[in-house]
Amino acid sequence: MKVGKIRHETIRRIIGRGSQKPSSTAGLLLALLLSIAVGGCDGGSPSAARETRPATSAGSTTPSTEPQSTGVSSTKVQPSSVVRIAVPSDGSSVPMITDVKGTSPKLPQGHQLWVVVQPASAAGFWPQIGPIPLQSDGRWSVKAQIGEEAQAGMEFNIITVVATGKQAIDAFAQYMKSCEQGACEPLYGALPLGAVRQHQITVRRS
């Protein structure tokens, strides 16, 4: 026997005791109790039944399956907003001192644009003079030294980098200070924390 049927019969026996004709008050009580019992006739409470129904109203609290934005700005630059190198072209031959030009989106306040040169077959990053200022239309340019006199024929990577945090900004500033004092040394290992790679090309020294 179903739980709902047991509840109904029990309620009827309780109300029916002592009289074949229940008073109007007893009738109201019976109706009230029956309505409560009907809500849970399958063994579940009315609130539980409501929780299993799919939400249809605009005010539903049912979790959405759509991806939600965190509202947190990422320091990583998206592919659509990469600081690109326009000159020289990838795979071209370049002199030791060459102009590197490109375009950039507007950078967040406090971020800096740098160009670094890396021997394709050796370790170390050589930051060029920077930070590089952006023109109002997003264009930028810098003179870069591609290797030494004796390195003609070697390949080098030219990389645009955005320094997004204090550690990266301080590392590049310290490098420039060392160069001014005649003690330039490349940045070995990985780029400083907060230095986000943007665009890389490979050129050959002429």
pLDDT digits (tens, 9 = 90+) for 130-171: 999 999 999 999 999 999 999 999 999 999 999 999 999 999
Whether residues 102 and 185 share a domain: the answer is yes
Whether residues 95 and 185 share a domain: the answer is yes
The structural domain count of the chain equals: 2
Whether residues 16 and 85 share a domain: the answer is no
Phi/psi of residue 187, nearest 5 degrees = -85, 110
**103 or 20, which is more confident?**
103
Percentage above 70 pLDDT, the chain: 61
Whether residues 91 and 159 share a domain: the answer is yes
Q: Tell me which residue range forms the domain holding 43.
A: 3-51
Whether residues 116 and 192 share a domain: the answer is yes
Q: What is the pLDDT of residue 191?
A: 94
**CA separation for the pair 68, 204 (Å, rounded):** 46
Q: What is the CATH number of the domain that holds 118?
A: 2.60.40.10
Cβ–Cβ < 8 Å for 139, 188 = no
Helix axis angle for 24-39 and 3-16, nearest 10°, is 170
Q: What is the pLDDT of residue 139?
A: 98
Whether residues 44 and 146 share a domain: the answer is no
Last residue of a domain, one of 51, 70, 88: 51
| Cα Dmax for the chain | 116
Whether residues 41 and 85 share a domain: the answer is no
Q: What is the pLDDT of residue 95?
A: 98
Q: Is residue 144 part of a domain?
A: yes
Whether residues 92 and 41 share a domain: the answer is no
**Cα 181 from chain centroid?**
40
Whether residues 167 and 96 share a domain: the answer is yes
Q: What is the pLDDT of residue 73?
A: 34
**Residue 74 pLDDT > 90, yes or no?**
no
- End-to-end alpha carbon distance in the chain: 94
**Residue 19 pLDDT > 90, yes or no?**
no
Based on the number of CB atoms within 10 Å of its own CB, is 40 exposed (0-12), middle (13-18) or buried (19 or more)? Answer: middle
Mean pLDDT of 101-115: 97
Whether residues 41 and 95 share a domain: the answer is no
**60 or 111, which is more confident?**
111
Mean pLDDT over the full length of the chain: 76
Whether residues 110 and 191 share a domain: the answer is yes
**Residue 118 pLDDT > 50, yes or no?**
yes
Q: Is residue 23 part of a domain?
A: yes
**pTM, rounded to two decimals:** 0.62
Q: Is residue 148 part of a domain?
A: yes
Percentage above 90 pLDDT, the chain: 58
**CA separation for the pair 133, 114 (Å, rounded):** 9
